[in-house]
Amino acid sequence: MLTQSQGAKLIKLARKSIDEEFSGKKNGFDREIKEFDKRHGVFVTLKMKDSGELRGCIGFPYPIFPLSKAIIEAAKSAAFSDPRFMPLNQKELEKIKIEISVLSVPEEIKPRPNKREDIVKAINIGEDGLIVQLEGLSGLLLPQVATEFKMNQLEFLEETCLKAGLNREAWKHKSCHVFKFQAQIFDE
């Protein structure tokens, strides 16, 4: 678990990394990078301060990078490479709020044979995020999505299937893999 103070540093690191892309100046992340060298999955979400509207969200579900590097890369990608949005412009930078989700390692939900409904029962709304994988397609929804949109367990699972580009009931297929994870969330 990270402290609130560490979370504030991560938010600052994310904002500095986006700002660096506009200014072209290196802001010197050495101290922050050394503090956060443990590998974690992470997502950086950008929302408009006034409306709460999503402006970008990119991350790494698995702990492939040290946390500091994951934050820097995810922040830049959320700002400039989320295919759902135009790249952030410099005027927008002050109008966005940054949210960071530091993830636990995803664990597969393994139902009993012929009991796919076990997957639904294993989901804890408000605590678990989901990853659905089937036939080379994958979708992920962070834990806060279910509470923000007031979804129940089944709706959350179905929406994750849709995010993967699958039909709502793809989770019922015996070759479908469903993973859950938790997130520690920090925002501005």
What are the structural domain ranges in the chain? 4-103, 107-182
- pLDDT value of position 39: 95
- pLDDT value of position 35: 79
How far apart, in whole angstroms, are the C-alpha atoms of residue 150 and residue 154? 12
- pLDDT value of position 24: 79
Say if CB 62 and CB 41 are below 8 A apart: yes
How far apart, in whole angstroms, are the C-alpha atoms of residue 108 and residue 124? 14
Provide the CATH number for the domain formed by 4-103 in this structure. 3.30.700.20
- pLDDT value of position 29: 57
The gap from C-alpha 108 to its chain's centroid, in whole angstroms, comes to 17
Helix locations, 54-152, DSSP H: 67-80, 117-121, 143-148
Mean pLDDT by 10 residues, the chain (188 residues): 94 93 71 78 97 96 95 97 96 96 98 95 97 97 96 98 97 97 96
Architecture of domain 107-182: 2-Layer Sandwich (3.30)
The owner of tokens 């089937």 is 134
Q: Give backbone dihedrals phi and psi of 181, rounded to 5 degrees, phi first.
A: -150, 165
